[in-house]
Amino acid sequence: MSFLQACLFDLDGVIVDTAKYHYLAWRRMANQLGFDLTVEENELLKGISRMESLEKILAIGGVKLDEATKLSLAAEKNSWYLELCQQMSPDDVLPGVREFVEELKTNQIRVGLGSASRNAVLILDRIAMLTYFETIVDGNRVTRGKPDPEIFLTGAADLDVLPASCVVFEDAMAGVQAAKAGGMKAVGVGDPVVLTEADVVIKGFEGLHVQDIKQLFVV
Ligand code: BG6
Ligand code: MG
């Protein structure tokens, strides 16, 4: 029988609302290419890598480009994204997140980060949460993105815990699928209509306690 030993957190849209900045920057790029990007289309970009997102956006707009142009567009989007992130401070950590992670630590539950972003360390530093995570698995460390479980399995291995003892917190469909593919419990953060494959969906971390998460292991 497994029990809660570790929590792995996605970053964008779970710890901090950078998902809105990713959307603004991608939308600006789409607009520049002559088409729009809807909120629904953006949902499919959550959790996946920068280049995979670009490929999906180009497919939406029916735009074909060579590799060099794609790389330069991705770099431009990233510079717009980082410009938007400049305004972020420790106050931007989503409500209840800091308290919940602190409660996990008090209960000797291990804590890791599993994000597709290549900017994860920079963002965590900006919101003063770099020291909260015992391991950081980000887009610079893995070869296969979500929904492949590599990110979360690497996190579990770093923390020396079995996947079945891990709970993943995710706002993206691809991330929930990655957690489930890795044999972990998945807590969706956001809309239950979108995150249908999660074991449970929460609106956010305010008022959430370790005991609530332990319930996922009660059979
Ligand atoms: C994920 C986001 O966390 O990171 C995606 O949900 C984003 O929207 C991906 O594309 C890659 O992020 P970055 O910061 O490396 O461009
Ligand atoms: Mg996310």
Same domain, 40 and 113: no
For residue 66, the cross-strand partners are none
Q: Ligand 1 within 6 A of 42 CB?
A: no
Report the distance separating Cα 197 and Cα 173, nearest Å: 8
Q: Give the position, in ligand 1's atom list, of the atom nearest the Cα of 46.
A: 6
In 3-state terms the chain splits into helix, strand, coil percentages (rounded to 5) of 45, 15, 40
Identify the CA nearest to 2 among candidates 176, 177, 162, 181.
162
The pLDDT tens digits for 146-198 are 999 999 999 999 999 999 999 999 999 999 999 999 999 999 999 999 999 99
Same domain, 53 and 157: no
Rg (CA), the chain: 17
Same domain, 34 and 103: no
Q: Is 12 one of the annotated active-site residues of the chain?
A: yes
**Contacts with 212 (C-beta within 8 Å, 6 or more apart), sequence order:** none
Q: Ligand 1 within 6 A of 12 CB?
A: yes
Same domain, 107 and 205: yes
Q: Is residue 205 part of a domain?
A: yes
Give the pLDDT confidence score for residue 219 in this predicted structure.
82
Query: Identity (one letter) of the amino acid at 28?
Result: R
Same domain, 178 and 207: yes
Q: Ligand 1 within 6 A of 135 CB?
A: no
Out of 16, 53, 126, mutate this one to test ligand 1's pocket (max ligand atoms within 8 Å of CB): namely: 53
Same domain, 98 and 154: yes
Instruction: Among 50, 85, 120, give the residue marking a domain's end.
Output: 85
Number of neighbours of residue 7 by Cβ within 10 angstroms:
23
Could you say which ligand is closest to the alpha carbon of residue 188? Answer: 2
For residue 201, the cross-strand partners are 188
Q: Is residue 97 part of a domain?
A: yes
Q: Is residue 109 part of a domain?
A: yes
Q: Is residue 1 part of a domain?
A: no
Give the pLDDT confidence score for residue 27 in this predicted structure.
98
Same domain, 13 and 24: no
Domain count, the chain: 2
pLDDT beneath 50, residues of the chain: none
Number of neighbours of residue 20 by Cβ within 10 angstroms:
13
What CATH number should be reported for the domain holding residue 73?
A: 1.10.150.240
Q: Ligand 1 within 6 A of 76 CB?
A: no
Q: Yes or no: say if 10 and 171 are a contact pair by the CB < 8 Å rule.
A: yes
Report the distance separating Cα 118 and Cα 137, nearest Å: 10
Range of the domain at 37: 19-85
Q: Is residue 32 part of a domain?
A: yes
Q: Is residue 173 part of a domain?
A: yes
Same domain, 151 and 185: yes
Neighbours of ion ligand 2 (CB under 5 A): 10, 12-13, 171-172
Q: Is residue 174 part of a domain?
A: yes
Name the token pair of 207.
């008022």
Same domain, 34 and 68: yes
Same domain, 207 and 99: yes
Name the token pair of 32.
């520049």
**Backbone torsions φ then ψ of 95, nearest 5 degrees:** -55, 130
Same domain, 104 and 73: no
Report the distance separating Cα 190 and Cα 20, nearest Å: 13
Residue labelled with tokens 């599993």 = 114
Identify the CA nearest to 25 among candidates 79, 62, 61, 88.
79
